[in-house]
Structure 1
């Protein structure tokens, strides 16, 4: 797991930036932005660790908290720059999605859980923070948006699980998952792909 610690740090930075950015757009103060950054960056991983009965990761390593604080301050003092870079925020959000799918899925697999549980924990790690952010900020939840998001996380987690059954260095499935996440998400946005909804 240690070889992926920087993946986790980068994912935390990426999601904290997107969370703080939503707080800035919602006209929250610095504390409110920090709170949304925290929820987005560690909310999914916190719930994952509680479910699989592991110590909550950020309580064991305060580096995550400093990354969140740094990310929030960067948004607070460079808000106009980030607002002009919507493509950058999309890139960071997708990057965080891919990294957290890898972290959540791999951690659960290494603890001996079955593939189904590992896939679900990968999705929760990657997606739940954004759902919590939406709930507290009033933005439209990713669950209501027609853009593929949780589906991308689920497919990417499945790719990691399938590749983990092959005798490869762990870094190769991880890189493949991150590339898959970018291809699926950007492809779905460009082509307007979406899951069907129930008719009234």
Structure 2
């Protein structure tokens, strides 16, 4: 029988650390939904912005000077009434941000990547986890999954992580993979997929017990 939880789990992950696979395992055991690319589907549907644009901008940084200016303006209290004046990549990010909050408001779930921990930082029932692994373990996993040489797998790991870090660091006031940016950081090359999933479930249990005490 599936366990129950009231917690929303956000998972940040290094490429090749099996973060998504671990997330699916936890979601199945807790009887809750996992959102990965589904966040993009939801944001596209609710915003009316073309789905392909979400795929294009998915966890990829922007270097546009104009975009930086608009982001600065938005952080100073730019009204949503001016939504139509924004550059498309800004619209895409904000639509995704809104979709993440709506998903979270519907109840316990797991959200993978896409600054979900930042979008939900005001929510008390969120547990944010970052999953990492040794480079050797990640190279082996990616080489096996995508049938690549070790050199190509290493390149893929490093480039994907660089994009994810740039995206996260650009949009949030935190640093990607930094221990202070998350509640917990777990090494899947030490714990394994099963062990990391077990650790997350145990952390959820401890957090919920702590919240009960606070109440």
TM-score normalised by the chain length of structure 1: 0.33
* Larger helix proportion of the pair: 1
Greater radius of gyration (CA): 2
Bigger RCO (CA 8 Å, 6+ sep) = 2
* Larger strand proportion of the pair: 2
